[in-house]
Structure 1
């Protein structure tokens, strides 16, 4: 007879979610509690390897990852880190790109879900209703989408944005632009406006656009038209487009305009000038995503509750920001 995760929890005197974390994220469990869980699991004959347990029940030993844009340099380090973490837990990773199109995402999910034990959906384009329905059929984790009753890895930009605002204010900037390339359900604008206002900075928002290099190229003359001395872009790709086009327009960075991106991709450190950006750790995102998903898979039959795990951010100052010009 198969031993359930709930039986292990009862024997160890802990919650079902604690038992799940003991196998998927042991570093998040207190040593004494971990010891108690492992001893109870051994005594009951519970399979410690979540992939082995999945396969015993007819699973695939594979995790699915659906991302919006493989061309974005933000994603390859995350994919690599997810593969490494999944491998340690006995899984492989199957990745697909939906190009930020809802129809493509629906089609991709329908195809991939047949070959995996669970899905990580990055910035999903699907409605909350669709996502909850999907979660009822297969374990899922959403990244940067707030969906009740669905496990989520939430990226918090609060610290990084606050540091960016303080950074610009210290350099004497007062008039800034935010290039918004978020979909409505992922909007970053309000928190950014609040942080910049708290720092005493005027912020004009332009967009929304698509989160691509070409967006920055398009936005560069608008930044100059607003007479702004600093710009915060939706991501590094957009910021790099701004750097490129400002140079074509004869504007100096950071002499005339300071530029800040978000993500801290490899390109940020090798651009000219190197890009000041808000760093989001790809390793932490990957590890948390895999751990939440494997927790959902191993605890699926035992009603392990959905959890939200937050990943923070920080400013990485580089050469693209400097003192505001005297105008």
Structure 2
């Protein structure tokens, strides 16, 4: 049975109206009381009643999207696809960049929450209780973040990464480097290392770094002296940094080192050599995200849903047979 607001109020020792204000008007509650309400709500599994959203201003016919880094070529195609779907349904779309920082994410949410009918948050770094408070005021969908009671979309990279490992193994590679740029606490890339090891590959983990071009430049120098014949990068942006540095060092891709990225952005197909990458389809992602967000905005969904989209490997010129030991 669902936990009620009365149970939360009793556990905290405050009135139900105080609990309600902690979610819908947090500035009207003392900070220590608000934090206690959020903490107890998370412990009990309380999900605020969607009717609290009626306190918000009227519909704006606008959807909001907050992303970690607009400079990452992974995000613009997703925003464009979401914008096209939203426009078709009569909505406009706002986008904000939080620069992969929690404080900036909170600022972005505060800036646009009252201007949109619903919010889409990518890889949010905010604590669960904070996300619950936001969801109580604004219809919310999370991407690559699971919080009970809030609809979410998860990108499952397992199949695509396994295909990458199988390809590298079939090409004769046995020692691979993994450029880890996972956010602290998530350790996504360590799961990729486990997949590779399960296929019989030895994995050298580098990082963690920030998921930026410069991280690939730095890691490539380590790879060049470490004996790995293949590299899996956290994303295409990191992979392109590595590719540039390999070229500067005279390391040939793929003759000396094979290179695999993740995301399959436009840059993956136009760089030289073209980058083998694990594809995340922006159209599929946008369609699923838009459906979940409109369910939250209109109340069409009976309850929050979790949707998973898969991935696949796109093989290009940056992967090839492992070099003979005498050539290393």
Tell me if the contact between 2:178 and 2:231 (Cα under 8 Å) persists in the aligned partners: yes
Tell me if the contact between 1:145 and 1:186 (Cα under 8 Å) persists in the aligned partners: no
Alignment of 1:156-235 (within 5 A): 156-235=156-235
Shift of 1:187: 2.2
Alignment of 1:72-83 (within 5 A): 72-83=72-83
Counterpart CA distance in 2 for 1:143 and 1:101 is 16
Paired residue secondary structure (1:136):
helix
TM-score (norm: length of structure 2): 0.80
Counterpart CA distance in 2 for 1:227 and 1:152 is 40
Structure 1 residues not aligned, in runs of 5+ = 1-53
Alignment of 1:239-250 (within 5 A): 239-250=239-250
How many residues align? The count is 270
Alignment of 1:9-24 (within 5 A): none
- Structure of greater relative contact order (alpha carbons < 8 Å, 6+ residues apart): 1
Shift of 1:208: 1.0
Question: Deviation string for 1:127-176 (max 9, x for gaps)?
Answer: 12211221122111111112221111100001001100000000000000
Tell me if the contact between 2:216 and 2:242 (Cα under 8 Å) persists in the aligned partners: yes
Counterpart CA distance in 2 for 1:195 and 1:59 is 46
Counterpart CA distance in 1 for 2:150 and 2:190 is 24
Tell me if the contact between 1:296 and 1:304 (Cα under 8 Å) persists in the aligned partners: no
Alignment of 1:83-102 (within 5 A): 83-102=83-102
Shift of 1:304: 3.1
Name the residue aligned to 2:310: 312
TM-score (norm: length of structure 1): 0.80
In angstroms, what is the RMSD of aligned CA positions? 1.4
Tell me if the contact between 2:180 and 2:234 (Cα under 8 Å) persists in the aligned partners: yes
Paired residue secondary structure (1:323):
coil
Question: Deviation string for 1:183-227 (max 9, x for gaps)?
Answer: 134321332122112210011111111111111000001112221
Counterpart CA distance in 2 for 1:164 and 1:204 is 16
Question: Deviation string for 1:4-39 (max 9, x for gaps)?
Answer: xxxxxxxxxxxxxxxxxxxxxxxxxxxxxxxxxxxx
Name the residue aligned to 1:145: 145
Stretches (4+) displaced over 4 A: none
Counterpart CA distance in 2 for 1:314 and 1:187 is 21
Paired residue secondary structure (1:163):
helix
Name the residue aligned to 1:326: 324
Tell me if the contact between 2:211 and 2:238 (Cα under 8 Å) persists in the aligned partners: yes
Relative to 1, partners in 2 of residues 1:147 and 1:95: Cα closer, same or farther, differing over 3 Å?
A: same
Shift of 1:283: 0.6
